[in-house]
């Protein structure tokens, strides 16, 4: 019988201690190879040298392996992550989204309040709504250009077909804001927004005509207090003016027609773009549409020389016009940001609350005289708008 011995005896010496590793002999059994291998380590030498290996071949009837028990000491254990950690992360994310949405609603209300206040102050002394509208779109165009130029928002790639589809939206958007400025220049801010509370009435009619969306009995019933409240507020309004009244009504019609038109023309998947990009493109188009019309209809009457000749404070008019334009663009962009995060019904409820806040703040700021009957009519109209929003929510959940 040939025997084979296979010895490794490392012994390393360190400056303060010796590290000795000893391998116990293990036997391996393998019937086909008939090789017996013994591994041992000795520490006979104190020098840090590796001893030579001696190998002798032999044939043995068995090749056995006795596992080294020290290896069994190593065990792998999986530590489970508590479910509460995932729940905590989810709760913190939901809380952040709620706070973010609340901040957006707050900014939407505040920007709207200051827009109406500054805009009314300018229109009272400078009765040129076309020029004011063009200036607001011009400031908005500058903001959009800065957003795209500084990569604050991704610059879109728009096809000619998309531009052709957006052009009608820009036209009615321009008219809607022009009519709003005309109304604000003629009547009180509170009365303009009371009339604009009748937007659901136009939305239902236009949706039925162009989209074939027939209203339910509950939706029609919710329109009754809206129309009744607007009528009651109109007949008791101290600042009532037919131009202001019909301008606000025309603003309702054009704004709701824009919404219906956007549903009708922007239906193809390849034509769909996000709301903020759509608003940005509409703003630029509205400026390009309103600027030549303004020059033709009202002339260039926003120069310092003209304002001074009219006896106006140039700095005051410019600063208030700039602030109104910034708030105008900001509140509309925030409105689209909210619409990307909530359903249209929730957005409609928020718009109703916003109108209440704007009416109340304008009455307090301008000290607008309000009779009890007028206040009652306004309250009925706004309650009808809230009821309309609730009915639309119920309908959305059931469909």
Q: What is 255-278 written as a DSSP string?
A: HHHHHHHHHHHS-SGGG---HHHH
Give 182-207 as a 3 state SS string.
HHHHHCCHHHHHHHHCCHHHHHHHHH
Q: Is 367 left (phi over 0), alpha (psi -120 to 50) or beta?
A: left
Banded pLDDT at 42 (limits 50, 70, 90): very low
Give me the pLDDT at residue 351, please: 84
- pLDDT one-digit tens code per residue, 54-100: 444 444 444 444 444 444 444 545 555 555 555 666 677 788 888 88
CA angle 206, 207, 209 (to 5 degrees): 65
- pLDDT one-digit tens code per residue, 166-200: 899 999 999 999 999 999 999 999 999 999 888 88
Give me the pLDDT at residue 55, please: 42
Place of tokens 């190998």: 55
The Cβ of residue 314 has, within 10 Å, a number of other Cβ atoms equal to 14
Q: Which two tokens stand for residue 233?
A: 């507020």
- For the whole model, what pTM was predicted? 0.72
> What percent of the chain is predicted at pLDDT more than 90?
41
Banded pLDDT at 107 (limits 50, 70, 90): very high
- pLDDT one-digit tens code per residue, 273-318: 788 888 899 999 999 999 999 999 998 889 999 999 999 999 999 9
Domain borders along the chain are 1-67, 107-398
Nearest partner of 34 among 7, 59, 55, 57, judged by Cα: 59
Burial (CB < 10 A; 0-12, 13-18, 19+), residue 85, is exposed
Give me the half-sphere count of Cα atoms (radius 13 Å) on the Cβ side of residue 147: 19
What's the count of helices (H) and strands (E) in the chain, helices before strands?
A: 12, 5
Give me the pLDDT at residue 30, please: 42
- pLDDT one-digit tens code per residue, 214-252: 888 888 898 899 999 999 998 888 888 899 999 999 999
Distance of CA 307 to the CA centre of its chain: 40
Place of tokens 């304008």: 362
């Amino acid at each position: 019988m040939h025997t084979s011995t296979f010895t490794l005896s490392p012994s390393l010496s360190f400056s303060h201690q010796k590290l000795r590793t000893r391998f116990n002999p293990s036997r391996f059994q393998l019937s086909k190879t008939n090789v017996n291998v013994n591994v041992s380590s000795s520490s006979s030498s104190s020098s840090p040298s590796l001893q030579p290996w001696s190998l002798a071949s032999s044939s043995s009837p068995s090749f056995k392996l006795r596992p080294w028990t020290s290896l069994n000491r190593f065990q792998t254990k999986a530590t489970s992550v508590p479910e509460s950690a995932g729940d905590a992360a989810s709760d913190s994310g939901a809380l952040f989204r709620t706070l973010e949405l609340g901040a957006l609603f707050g900014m939407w209300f505040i920007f709207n309040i200051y827009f109406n206040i500054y805009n009314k102050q300018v229109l009272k002394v400078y009765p040129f709504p076309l020029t004011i509208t063009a200036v607001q779109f011009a400031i908005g165009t500058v903001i959009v250009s800065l957003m795209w130029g500084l990569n604050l928002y991704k610059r879109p790639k728009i096809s000619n077909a998309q531009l052709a589809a957006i052009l009608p939206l820009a036209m009615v958007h321009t008219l809607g804001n022009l009519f709003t400025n005309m109304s604000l220049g003629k009547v009180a801010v509170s009365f303009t927004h009371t009339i604009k509370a009748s937007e659901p009435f136009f939305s239902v009619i236009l949706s039925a005509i162009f989209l074939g969306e027939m209203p339910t009995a509950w939706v029609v019933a919710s329109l009754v207090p809206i129309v009744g409240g607007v009528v009651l507020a109109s007949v008791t309004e101290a600042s009532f003016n037919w131009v202001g009244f019909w301008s606000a009504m025309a603003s309702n019609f054009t704004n709701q027609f824009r919404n219906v038109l956007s549903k009708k023309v922007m239906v193809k998947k390849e034509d769909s773009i996000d709301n903020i990009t759509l608003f940005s493109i509409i703003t630029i188009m509205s400026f390009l549409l309103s600027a030549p019309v303004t020059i033709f209809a009202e002339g260039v009457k926003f120069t310092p020389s003209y304002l001074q000749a009219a006896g106006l404070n140039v700095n005051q008019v410019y600063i208030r016009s700039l602030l109104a334009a910034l708030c105008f663009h900001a509140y509309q962009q925030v409105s689209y940001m909210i619409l990307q995060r909530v359903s249209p019904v929730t957005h409609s409820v928020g718009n109703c609350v916003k109108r209440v806040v704007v009416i109340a703040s304008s009455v307090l700021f301008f000290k607008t005289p309000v009779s009890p009957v007028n206040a009652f009519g306004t309250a009925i109209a706004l309650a009808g708008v809230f009821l309309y929003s609730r009915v639309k929510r119920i309908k959305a959940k059931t469909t």
